[in-house]
Structure 1
């Protein structure tokens, strides 16, 4: 259960779900049939206008996620409320299981935290490559998952990354627009391809060193390996990213860090900015 405060005079439940949150028809129908929206435990009329400040309750069956909890939660939680949490995924840890035997991923650790606090649902909203560390947004109930998924698609969740790349990019900032597809000759690699998925990456140089520079990158789209592919495409692969043509680093890994998530919270009506520096 969670409580939502009406922020606009005259808003109805129908308007909130269909127009403001833009939930799918199936989910809206399920909430209606379950009489899930109440005030003081009593079902309410969906087309009844409410005064600003009215508190309405959502009570509905939340399915259990399938991630097996780890023994302890060993990921840092940077932000949490009743709708979502943002964790700092370590480098070298997968976001989610790919095989039934994968039980030490970020989502397994998140589920340990969820279970310890009386819950049973957690689903990631986006992904980070195993070699990328930093901020990952996780929904704590299906309504939040639906809304955050749409926000990702509409580019209203701003994801900022820091990457150290080989060479010094001539321009201080720029935008890379190049479609990305699978490499037919390599199972895991992606390539710039005319028939690939549209991909847009914005970058800004924040530090310059001898032989490398650090860029802050904002994703407009979220393709697999997007930053890695795009930076290599312009001749500046991420330091240590041997899959995309960089020299091997002393640490044997590449330098890509999801440093910030920013969005307008759909439930709390406030701007959220979380950093992982």
Structure 2
């Protein structure tokens, strides 16, 4: 749960930067205040503001302060990740092709490999912005989802990309193999997503959830399943998995969200058939459109061929 503080800007903070003012007013560290602003948690007179915006005396200030997770036992372990490929690299960003079974960053309860740890083990310098265990991370992929992730190396890249993801200017394209045949074959799923009402480890379409929008197009229709291209407008946790499950077309192999375990076993999958195949963004330094693509990993390619061969 987040704590919300709302109050008029005191005269003594007129002209102050948002991050500096919040640090003085609410007793936060300046870094923490900047993170809250970067994540869209600060509004002045109803308008979202950034960390470097200046405050006006008497304006109505609203600050949403997320609960800080207990990271006392969380630390980055520099550990190489076999199969993790670097597909783009320069002074500002590095784009990786993440294998299945790798988390974006350390978190309580996760003892497996992480993208952050793998990059540090490989000698990469990454941005120190954000929480210590989430260095450089501007977006995430589920542990069970493979594909493209961009990580910020410079502080400029971190702030620019964080805002780009928030403002939905980043192009995120996924391919999913879903059970059955979605109708219509091209469409948009617009349904709010929040915590599952009875299972805290997963998510669901719920009335009080956050707005979530998924665009899709069927690329190939098979007797048992459909290969679908997905464009994400929002980036909620498990969004694609939840939305297609709600349509009764769960990702093949995704037994957590209702996939057929018999089919999952037949195609040899112990995770959801979901891969981040394309990522496009304005380069934080040059402004040039930067786009990268990824091939299906071996387990997904094999499962797709089994479905094609077994049911065609």
Question: TM-score normalised by the shorter chain: which range applies?
Answer: 0.7 to 0.9
Counterpart-to-counterpart distance in 1, 2:95 and 2:197? 35
Match runs of 1:113-132 below 5 Å:
113=122, 116-117=123-124, 121=128, 122-132=135-145
8 Å Cα contact 2:156-2:284 kept in structure 1: no
1:181 matched to which residue of 2? 194
Distance in 1 (CA, whole Å) between partners of 2:109 and 2:207 is 35
Name the counterpart of 1:171.
184
In the alignment, what sits opposite 2:216? Answer: 203
2:273 is equivalent to residue 268 of structure 1: no
TM-superposed CA distance for 1:102, in Å, is 3.1
Contact 1:167 1:212 in 2 (8 A): yes
Shift of 1:160: 0.4
1:75 Cα offset (Å): 1.5
Query: Which of the numbers 235, 240, 261 marks the counterpart of 1:222?
Result: 235
* Contact map agreement 2:125 2:153 (CA 8 A) in 1: no
Aligned residues: 215
In the alignment, structure 1 residue 233 sits paired with structure 2 residue 246: yes
Query: 1:24 offset after TM fit, Å?
Result: 2.9
* Structure possessing the higher relative contact order (Cα contacts under 8 Å, 6 or more residues apart): 1
> How many Å separate the matches in 1 of 2:145 and 2:289?
25
- Indicate if the aligned counterparts of 1:228 and 1:238 stay in contact, CA closer than 8 A: yes
CA RMSD of aligned residues (A): 2.1
Contact 1:87–1:137, Cα closer than 8 Å, also in 2 = yes
C-alpha contact (below 8 Å) 2:212/2:236 kept by paired residues? yes
Q: Does 1:254 align with 2:303?
A: no
Find 2:51's aligned residue among 24, 32, 35: 24
* Structure-1-length-normalised TM-score: 0.72
Alignment of 1:130-169 (within 5 A): 130-169=143-182
The CA deviation at 1:119 is: 6.2
Structure (1 or 2) with the greater helix fraction? 2
Matched, 1:92 2:101: yes
TM-score scaled by length of structure 2: 0.65
Give the match for residue 39 of structure 1: none
Return the offset for 1:172.
2.2
Q: In the superposition, relative to structure 1, how do residues 166 and 142 fare at CA in structure 2: closer, same or farther (>3 Å)?
A: same
What is the rounded CA distance, in whole Å, between the counterparts of 2:88 and 2:217 in structure 1? Answer: 26
Structure 1 residue runs of 5 or longer lacking an equivalent are 1-21, 27-65
Name the CA distance, whole Å, in 1 between partners of 2:120 and 2:258: 36
